[in-house]
Structure 1
């Protein structure tokens, strides 16, 4: 059965720092982006960068319908400081039947409300970036990505105890509860790791597992 092609049209409502930069990046990635904001000056800033732009009140259902928002399969609510507008806009998108709604939240309470009114995905940019940077600053982690249910991916240097051994022989999984999913040799691209993969000095590992376990593993280096 052929895979259904992805509809690369998206509407970004609210072109502040988060929404504007996201919209511009999506255009660079080949998406057809409609940017909507109530501020004419903000819209003018992005007029030449985005596929379409419009000045409109995102909490007005008729305006959204006229702009074709109800036909979109993807929407991002980038409104942050005006919580009422953020919540009402998200609720309207849900009422219009947009299948995939992403929304920015400024705190966890805001995030819970957005989920209740119809957001399928909620992001807390400041919180998530702060958490990520904290891991980079305070430990030996080279990169950190957190997921739901206390699960994370980290990029870390290979520990001494794994050097010149295969992953099976080093027993990293049984000792630390983590899984090495990818490995990078100096000057080479990342490759998938298997039980027979030998780890050498200078290798960089991508490791998956519970947050506390990957943090413990990263501290070995």
Structure 2
């Protein structure tokens, strides 16, 4: 077991052009996917609930496609499908971007995460209490202030439980990164397994690492829910 841990640590510290360990690469994929997906999902969620079909329909189509197809297929499309197109080779920036496995992996993860987050936030926006909106209108708020001061803060707080589950699922989805040669936890684990032939111990150690990160995420989201959803808790008399 000690030799396995030593081998695992050596493979953890091996780099493939990124200079990160397997755990760091996994966390990097998760953080970038979540942050960019979150930032893109907010305006898309507003567009998704718009009464203007020319605005809401394209967003609906985007979320439908990315939630209706496997992430692995999306990853392969970004990694090999797009790069096979002729105009990508002819454009220097596109050729450089899609030649990099990390870029392709992040693109697929961000687009997938954004699609799910958009629907989560859009559902929370739709369920905003009519009284809250009417109060903002009574104060003479513009549509922009109504969204930034009432609707979005309320919707984002109420979507925390659902969004926390999506973040955990995104962590699990990062295991697909090894198929594009990105050295995440699973890629390192497979290398250790190939070197030691101790499959149970190698994958068991990887499972412990993933579970540790998940418990950390659950703890962080529970803290946020306790603070930001306190007003929904039953009040004692």
Question: TM-score, with normalisation over the residues of structure 1?
Answer: 0.23
Which structure dedicates a bigger proportion of its chain to helix?
2
User: Bigger relative contact order, structure 1 or 2, given CA contacts below 8 A and separation 6+?
Assistant: 2
Q: How high is the TM-score relative to the length of structure 2?
A: 0.22
